[in-house]
């Protein structure tokens, strides 16, 4: 039996109508919203996929299918807490998590402390075990053209 597991996740949402995006459970003002069944929180969706990946339990689409009306407009922190419960039931806790947001705008850095606090609270770990980074893609590709935003996440699980 190993004492650590690692998982990675990736998520994308296209911009659409709206006046804000939700990132790490934080409402970030923006001149666009995102097209999504839930609140379209790419940070949490990528992180959930990292946690599910570490557990080899499939992906977020399996656990929270867009076809299920329960998840329409859903606060993605519900998904994160569910993933936390799944890993805790199996004797794991999150050692640390690291998320990179990729977009030209909105600017993420000012919101990172609140995002880290939300994620740490939902995972039951210290804020210093949760990292939020941000980068542009130098105006290249769909994120560079401002068509949407993406996030990548890595999470380490350790024995609880
Ligand atoms: Mg998503």
Is the model's pLDDT at 41 over the cut of 80? yes
Q: Tell me how far the alpha carbon of residue 74 lies from the centroid of ligand 1, in angstroms.
A: 11
The domain that holds 97 is classified in CATH as 3.30.1330.50
pLDDT bin (cut points 50, 70, 90) of residue 1 is: low
46 C-alpha vs ligand 1 centroid, how far in Å?
A: 7
CA 39 – ligand 1 centroid, Å: 9
Could you list the residue range(s) of the whole structural domain that residue 24 is in? 4-159
Ligand 1 centroid to 45 CA: how many Å? 5
pLDDT digits (tens, 9 = 90+) for 52-63: 999 999 999 999
CA atoms within 13 A on the CB side of 18: 18
**Mind listing the pLDDT tens digit for each residue in 101-147?**
999 999 999 999 999 999 999 999 999 999 999 999 999 999 999 99
- Determine contact, residues 44/152, Cβ cutoff 8 Å: no
Alpha carbons 28 and 114: distance in angstroms, whole number: 11
Q: What is the pLDDT of residues 74-110, one digit of tens each?
A: 899 999 999 999 999 999 999 999 999 999 999 999 9
Number of domains, the chain: 1
């Amino acid at each position: 039996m190993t004492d650590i597991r690692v998982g990675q996740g990736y998520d994308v949402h296209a911009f659409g109508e709206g006046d804000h995006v939700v990132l790490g459970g934080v409402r970030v003002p923006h001149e666009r919203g995102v097209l999504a069944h839930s609140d379209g929180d790419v940070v949490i969706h990528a992180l959930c996929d990292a946690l599910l990946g570490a557990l080899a339990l499939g992906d977020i689409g399996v656990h929270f299918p867009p076809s299920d009306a329960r998840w329409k407009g859903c606060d993605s922190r519900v998904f994160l807490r569910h993933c936390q419960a799944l890993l805790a039931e199996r004797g794991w806790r999150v050692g640390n998590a690291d998320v990179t947001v990729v977009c030209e705008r909105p600017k993420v850095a000012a919101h990172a402390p609140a995002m880290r606090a939300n994620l740490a609270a939902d995972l039951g770990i210290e804020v210093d075990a949760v990292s939020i980074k941000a980068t542009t893609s130098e105006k290249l590709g769909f994120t560079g053209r401002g068509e949407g935003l993406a996030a990548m996440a890595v999470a380490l699980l350790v024995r609880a």
